[in-house]
Amino acid sequence: MSAEPNTPDRSRPDACPGALQVHQAADGALARVRLPGGFLEPGQLQALAEASRELAAGELELTSRGNVQLRAVTDPDRFAERLAEIGLLPSATHERVRNILASPLSGRLGGLVDVRDWVRELDRGLCADPVLAQLPGRVMFSLDDGRGDVSGLSADLGLHAVGADEVTLVLAGRDSGARIPAADGVSVLLEAARHLLEIRGEQWRLHEIDGGPERILAGLGLRATVEPVDLAGDGAGPIGWLDHGDGGVTLAAGLALGAIPARTAEFLAAVGKPLVVTPWRSVLLCDLDEWTAEQVVRVLAPMGLIFDAASPWLQVSACTGSPGCAKSLADVRGDLGAAVAAGELPVEGRQHWVGCDRKCGRPRGEVADVVATGDGYRVDRRPR
Encode the chain (384 residues) as per-residue pLDDT tens digits: 333 333 455 555 567 899 999 999 888 999 999 999 999 999 999 999 999 999 999 999 999 899 999 999 999 999 999 999 999 999 999 999 999 999 999 999 999 999 999 999 999 999 999 999 999 999 999 999 999 999 999 999 999 999 999 999 999 999 999 999 999 999 999 999 999 999 999 999 999 999 999 999 999 999 999 999 888 766 678 999 999 988 899 999 999 999 999 999 999 999 999 999 999 999 999 999 999 999 999 999 999 999 999 999 999 999 989 988 889 999 999 999 999 999 999 999 999 999 999 998 888 778 899 999 999 999 998 654
Distance CA(34)–CA(20), nearest Å, equals 11
* pLDDT score recorded for residue 2: 30
Its CATH class, for the domain covering 313-380, is alpha beta
Distance CA(74)–CA(56), nearest Å, equals 6
Task: Provide the 8-state DSSP code for 124.
Answer: H
Q: Give span(s): CATH 3.30.413.10, the chain.
A: 1-13+97-235, 313-380
Contact 185, 141 (CB under 8 A): no
Q: Give span(s): CATH 3.90.480.10, the chain.
A: 20-88+238-308
**pTM reported for the whole predicted model:** 0.92
- Secondary structure of residue 184 in the 3-state scheme: helix
Contact 208, 8 (CB under 8 A): yes
Q: How far is CA 297 from the centre of its chain?
A: 24
In terms of CATH architecture, what is 20-88+238-308? Alpha-Beta Complex (3.90)
What strands lie across the sheet with 59-62, from one edge to the other?
23-25, 28-33, 68-73, 59-62, 259-261
Number of other residues whose CB lies within 10 A of the CB of residue 292: 16
Can you spell out the DSSP letters for 302-317?
GGT-B--TT-GGGGEE
Distance CA(197)–CA(132), nearest Å, equals 8
Distance CA(97)–CA(111), nearest Å, equals 26
- Secondary structure of residue 138 in the 3-state scheme: coil
Contacts of 367 (CB under 8 A, 6+ apart): 317, 350, 351, 352, 383, 384
Of residues 134, 45, 178, 329, the one with CA closest to residue 169: 178
Its CATH class, for the domain covering 1-13+97-235, is alpha beta
